[in-house]
């Protein structure tokens, strides 16, 4: 039995997480869920967006399965997602974007894995006003050689272990010569130790254009925190949207699995949210836990449901009247 900390999150979180837990429980995986709270709902309930009990649970289980958390724009508490990634040193954020059969998109052969540095860069949390009038502010990007090393090494090792051919580093070292320069230097040094993996470098703005026009040239992409955040939404758009893209936050002795998308306040409470992304994050979690059979069963079932296109949410089929719960039920039924 694997103990897993379960954080349902905010907005569409509870509805998609209920479906994900239902599907995982039906898959035969041996999971013991420990309920915990974080984000806006935890703040409203306990006056603390990251209660001690949640961290005590993750300290014990070392594996968390999490719904999206709302971070209010411009004011309020700092992102709890960022706080959790930093606290547990979840330095590699792995976000695969692959075409799905049955989902019509501009290209048919996209298969890109973004590996985003997850603890440093512009999301280091070093931000303040410089004047009492609050009319000048600065944010500091911290990039360390050791922080760059561990995530870039992860990306190359991931490529080798998963039979991938190429790693592209996306950077902005032409302008941010020191912070981005360290990241690029480490990528070049690491590439030299992986002669079996092709290596490419792209300046991030040009990389965006290439990704939209010719995404097939990308395989594994490694990049710094904010660029990875943005590029992974871009790759989501290439393969059918945020409703389909899972993410794993990996550290040396803890891991947290979630969808790439946020709490989607525009569709919360309407039974419209696609549970596929977070269920696929569950598949990544089961593989991490060694529950390979259960992971495979779920993946095949969800692929069948999406391919058939009947029980999918409206983000995948505008004519569909199927809701979050009905799609979850169809995935359970497809597991047989």
Ligand X SMILES: NC(=O)c1ccc[n+]([C@@H]2O[C@H](COP(=O)([O-])OP(=O)(O)OC[C@H]3O[C@@H](n4cnc5c(N)ncnc54)[C@H](O)[C@@H]3O)[C@@H](O)[C@H]2O)c1
280 interacts with ligand X by CB under 6 A: no
261 interacts with ligand X by CB under 6 A: yes
Task: Name the residue whose CB lies closest to ligand X.
Answer: 262
159 DSSP β-pair partners: none
What beta strand segments (E) does 9-117 contain? 31-36, 63-66, 92-98, 111-117
Q: Return the number of the residue (74 or 195) whose C-beta is nearest ligand X.
A: 74
Half-sphere exposure of residue 51, counting CA atoms within 13 Å on the CB side? Answer: 16
Q: Return the number of the residue (123 or 218) whose C-beta is nearest ligand X.
A: 123
Least gap, CB of 249 to ligand X (angstroms): 9
DSSP, res 108 = S
Least gap, CB of 80 to ligand X (angstroms): 8
Q: How far apart are CA 307 and CA 313, in angstroms?
A: 13
**DSSP code string of 247-308:** EEEE-SS-EEEEESS---TTTTTTT----HHHHHHHHHHHHHHT-HHHHHHHHHHHHHHHHH
Least gap, CB of 71 to ligand X (angstroms): 4
Q: Return the number of the residue (228 or 243) whose C-beta is nearest ligand X.
A: 243
154 included as an active-site residue = no
Enumerate residues 282-321 that contact ligand X by CB under 6 A.
Answer: 315
Q: Return the number of the residue (25 or 317) whose C-beta is nearest ligand X.
A: 317
161 included as an active-site residue = no
If one counts every other C-beta atom within 10 angstroms of the C-beta of residue 33, the result is 15
49 interacts with ligand X by CB under 6 A: no
Start-end of H helices in 39-144? 40-46, 52-61, 80-87
- Single out the residue of 258, 311, 323, 330 in contact with ligand X (rule: CB under 6 A): 258
User: Which tokens hold the place of 321?
Assistant: 């009247």
Residues that bind ligand X (CB under 6 A): 12, 68-71, 81, 242-243, 258, 261-267, 273-274, 277, 315
- The residues that are catalytic are 123, 172, 205, 229
């Amino acid at each position: 039995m694997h103990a897993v900390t379960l954080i349902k999150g905010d907005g569409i979180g509870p509805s998609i997480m209920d479906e994900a837990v239902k599907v995982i429980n039906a898959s035969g995986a041996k999971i013991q869920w420990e309920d915990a709270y974080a984000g806006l709902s935890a703040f409203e309930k306990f006056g603390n967006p990251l209660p001690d009990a949640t961290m005590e649970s993750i300290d014990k289980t070392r594996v968390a399965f999490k719904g999206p958390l709302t971070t209010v724009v411009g004011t309020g508490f700092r992102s709890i997602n960022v706080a959790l990634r930093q606290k547990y040193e979840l330095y590699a954020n792995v976000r695969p974007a692959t075409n799905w059969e049955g989902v019509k998109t501009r290209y048919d052969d996209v298969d890109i894995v973004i590996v985003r540095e997850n603890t440093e860069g512009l999301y280091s949390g070093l931000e303040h006003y410089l004047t009492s009038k609050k009319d000048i502010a600065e944010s500091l990007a911290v990039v360390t050689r050791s922080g760059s090393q561990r995530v870039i090494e992860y990306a190359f090792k991931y490529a080798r272990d998963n039979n991938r051919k190429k790693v592209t580093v996306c950077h902005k070292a032409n302008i941010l010569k020191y912070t981005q320069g360290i990241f690029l230097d480490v990528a070049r040094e690491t590439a030299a130790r992986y002669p079996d993996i092709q290596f490419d470098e792209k300046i991030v703005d040009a990389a965006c254009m290439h990704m939209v026009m010719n995404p097939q040239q990308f395989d594994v992409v490694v990049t710094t925190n904010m660029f990875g955040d943005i590029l992974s939404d871009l790759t989501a758009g290439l393969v059918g949207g945020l409703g389909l893209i899972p993410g794993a936050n990996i550290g040396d002795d803890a891991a947290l699995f979630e969808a790439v998308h946020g709490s989607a306040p525009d569709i919360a409470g309407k039974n419209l949210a696609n549970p596929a992304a977070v269920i696929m994050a569950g598949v990544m979690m089961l593989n991490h836990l060694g529950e390979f059979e259960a992971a495979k069963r779920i993946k095949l079932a969800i692929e069948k449901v999406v391919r058939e296109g009947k029980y999918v949410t409206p983000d995948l089929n505008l004519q569909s009247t199927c809701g979050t719960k009905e799609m979850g039920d169809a995935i359970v039924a497809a597991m047989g």
